[in-house]
Amino acid sequence: MKIVDGKVIVCSPGRNFVTLKLVTEDGMYGLGDATLNGRELAVASYLRDHVVPLLVGRDARRIEDIWQYLYKGAYWRRGPVTMSAIAAVDTALWDIKGKALNAPIYQLLGGASREGALVYGHASGATIEETVEAAARYVALGYTAVRAQCGVPGLAQTYGVGKGDVYEPAEAGLAPETVWSSERYVSSVPPLFEKLRKELGFGVHLLHDVHHRLTPIEAAGLGRALEPYRLFWMEDPTPAETQESFRLIRQHTTTPLAVGEVFNSIHDCRSLIQEQLIDYIRTTVVHAGGISHLRKIASLAELYQVRTGSHGATDLSPVCMAAALHFDLSVHNFGIQEYMRHSADTDRVFPHAYTFANGLMHPGDAPGLGVDLDEALAATFPYSRAYLPTARLEDGTVHSW
């Protein structure tokens, strides 16, 4: 089953997406998400100019061999651009394998380990009251897990606070700069969760994303202050290039920790997992080498009772969401899946079989991923430059984002 073509489709139905479509000699095709928010065209070129020429003529059935060939053969290993490109190839090959064998991918990964994947929605608001109302709306929709982010008094704009119904992390044009204060932030979070628990009780899982903005000791203090509200997790408490930082946080708090949405390989989280410094690993299909590599991370994590909690924001396309759900349904040590609903235009460009009911999602039973790409419709939404915002402290110093 030879690969005869690889097409890179860049479209922007509400936000930018890069999709790889691999075609085989018998006319079968598979899709893979290659979207790297704010750096999309680098991955598109990596695929189009450097990877697709190497794939033409290869046997589409040899997923692991092609993965190793692209990873080891490039000489230059890891990094978000390389690993997103490899992820797209890997996902597309799993899609083809599922279609060829007439089975949904989760059946090829060992079958379902659960009825559905627990997902969390995103509640946010400028004030505590608005955020509590948004969280209550998610509960009314059937969600049993909700991430809550709130505006910080004294800061004009705060990460994670959406505008309108669809939460979009990037902004059109050149990267906007926002002002950040860790002091203002850390004192604003406990009152939010106090109010959420008072209004919603303890029957719903509550999550919070710190977005790599605190030092380890600041994060330790916040984790401790949040203990009475029993969070499902505190996410990305501090930047994780230095994995040992988490030892310090861990010594001080029992609030569960999640990290890894920006990781792209098992080497980024090896110490975090083996030393049991985290409870959830957030690596995703698209940014961490595809379904094949994510399974290796999950297998390592399983040994240490670390569970998965994959990133699933709107900048991860429905192709990635479908792949994530096949992974989530099958791996034993699944924990939770992030789910930010896409815009109506995105859903129309990427028709999909996955469904949500009663707080759980299911990838569906269509062969392969169960997601398609309407290329004619996609062509009506051309790429449009957008960036994630950046952050500076009140005195102008660049801060982690």
Our finding on whether 268 is near ligand EZ4 (CB under 6 A) is no
Q: In the sheet that 17-24 helps form, which strands lie side by side, from edge to edge?
A: 3-11, 17-24, 29-33
| Residues 321-340 within binding reach of ligand EZ4 (CB under 6 A) | 338
Q: Which of 315, 328, 345, 372 binds ligand EZ4 (CB under 6 A)?
A: 315
Of 40, 95, 209, 218, the residue at the interface with ligand EZ4 (CB under 6 A) is: 209
Q: What does 151 bind: ligand EZ4, Co ion, none (CB cut-off 5 to 8 Å by kind)?
A: none
Nearer to Co ion, 209 or 279 (CB): 209
> In angstroms, rounded to a whole number, what is the distance separating the alpha carbons of residues 124 and 76?
40
313 near ligand EZ4, judged by CB under 6 A: yes
x/- contact string, 252-281, with Co ion (CB under 5 A)? ---------x--------------------
Minimum CB distance to ligand EZ4 smaller for 90 or for 338: 338
Instruction: Rule CB under 5 A: say whether 338 interacts with Co ion.
Output: no
Residue span 6-45 as binding mask against ligand EZ4, x where in contact by CB under 6 A, dash where not:
-------------------------------x--------
* Of positions 209, 218, 279, 315, contacts Co ion by CB under 5 A: 209
CB of 196 to ligand EZ4, least distance (A): 18
Which of 261, 372 has the CB closer to Co ion? 261
Q: Which stretch binds ligand EZ4 (CB under 6 A): 8-16, 73-81, 294-302, 311-319?
A: 311-319
Which residue of the set 122, 208, 211, 326 is catalytic? 211
Choose between 315 and 372: whose C-beta lies nearer to ligand EZ4.
Answer: 315
Q: Would you tell me how many other CB atoms lie within 10 Å of the CB of residue 349?
A: 28
The size of the interface with ligand EZ4 (CB under 6 A), counted in residues, is 10
Specify whether 342 is catalytic.
Answer: no
CB of 166 to ligand EZ4, least distance (A): 12
304 is catalytic: no
**Active-site residue identified among 46, 71, 143, 159:** 159
Q: What residues from 155 to 174 belong to the interface with ligand EZ4 (CB under 6 A)?
A: 169
Please report whether residue 214 would count as binding ligand EZ4 according to CB under 6 A: no
Is residue 261 a contact point for ligand EZ4 (CB under 6 A)?
A: yes
By the rule CB under 6 A, 121 interacts with ligand EZ4: no
- Could you give the C-alpha distances from 152 to 17, 32, 128, 159, 222, in angstroms and in order? 31, 38, 9, 10, 15
**Which residues belong to the active site?**
159, 211
Residues that bind ligand EZ4 (CB under 6 A): 37, 169, 209, 211, 261, 311, 313, 315, 338, 388
